[in-house]
Amino acid sequence: MDMDGLIVNVALTGCVHDEGPLTPGAVALDAKRCWDAGASMFHLHARDWSGKPTWGENRYREYVEACRDLVPDAVLVVSCSGRQGWGLEERAGAIRSGADMASLTTGSFNFRDAASVNPPDVIKGLAERMKKWGVKPEIECFDLGHVFNALKLIEEGLVDPAWFNLFLGNELPAEREYLHLMASRVPSPWAGAGIGKAQWDANRWAIEAGGHVRVGLEDSLWMSKGDRATNPRMVERAVAYGLCLGREPVNARRVLFGQGD
């Protein structure tokens, strides 16, 4: 593995706001711009033809195929988010879309205005389907309890610990010690992620600690107060900081799958 290299994972849009790319073509073009800036892993959310979030297999496949055309060597991750209240079977549709990975949040939690609902049976069901269909989990942890839930799933053989996103600024305050505490428990590559203004702090601390980063408009719409963000700009900032510390961007496919240049 490229232990000194830096993987940049980009959550391009999300399922809440309408900022950034929304259609398959727009998402793919934005992914290509981010790829050119040094990103190599993309977290995708699909929208239906009216612009509303969807977890449908066929619609997600359109996003995956559009991105494969423009960034064929990137790692593509589809969302199985519990934020919109969908059940297991609806959320599992995204897993069958041809992506490399799918998100698996290992506990329920609250955003400021809504809950992400992830009951134990749904977490287990999604994990079982990922394993059955050969899709690696992108494990998402918003507090320390989520990390321990993930470790239990790993111990039970339900989850391959391929990648962790560790979030600050929501359940956990944006403090370096919380990121380090979660990271000290995970057994595989991890990225520091932050909600809102916590994003850049989480990114910097992760790079300094030897972790990787998740950036993107799903998590924050701003570079700093009054400075509207774009996905490529977020990637450029993370890559530049990594280079200052001697960490060059590397291909997530090579690190996580042993494939690619």
* Distance of alpha carbon 155 from alpha carbon 6, whole angstroms: 28
Q: CATH number of the domain that 96 lies in?
A: 3.20.20.70
Question: Is 1 part of a structural domain of the chain?
Answer: no
Closest residue by Cα to residue 190 from 231, 125, 146: 146
What pLDDT band is residue 98 in, cutting at 50, 70 and 90?
very high
pLDDT given for residue 146 in this prediction: 97
**Residue 110 DSSP one-character state:** E
Type of residue numbered 90: E
pLDDT given for residue 117 in this prediction: 86
- Find the mean pLDDT for residues 76-86: 82
pLDDT of 150-167, one tens digit each?
A: 999 999 999 999 999 999
Question: Is 241 part of a structural domain of the chain?
Answer: yes
* Spatial CB neighbours of 37, under 8 Å, sequence gap ≥ 6: 232, 235, 236, 239
pLDDT given for residue 1 in this prediction: 42
Average pLDDT across the chain, whole number: 94
Question: Is 122 part of a structural domain of the chain?
Answer: yes
* Spatial CB neighbours of 261, under 8 Å, sequence gap ≥ 6: 73, 251, 254
Question: Is 2 part of a structural domain of the chain?
Answer: no
Question: Is 56 part of a structural domain of the chain?
Answer: yes
pLDDT given for residue 56 in this prediction: 87
Question: Is 121 part of a structural domain of the chain?
Answer: yes
pLDDT of 58-70, one tens digit each?
A: 999 999 999 999 9
Query: What predicted TM-score, i.e. pTM, was given to this entire model?
Result: 0.95
pLDDT of 218-232, one tens digit each?
A: 999 999 999 999 999
Type of residue numbered 4: D
Question: Is 146 part of a structural domain of the chain?
Answer: yes
Host domain of residue 54: 8-257
* Distance of alpha carbon 261 from alpha carbon 253, whole angstroms: 9
pLDDT given for residue 23 in this prediction: 96
Q: How many domains does the chain have?
A: 1
pLDDT given for residue 81 in this prediction: 85
Question: Is 123 part of a structural domain of the chain?
Answer: yes
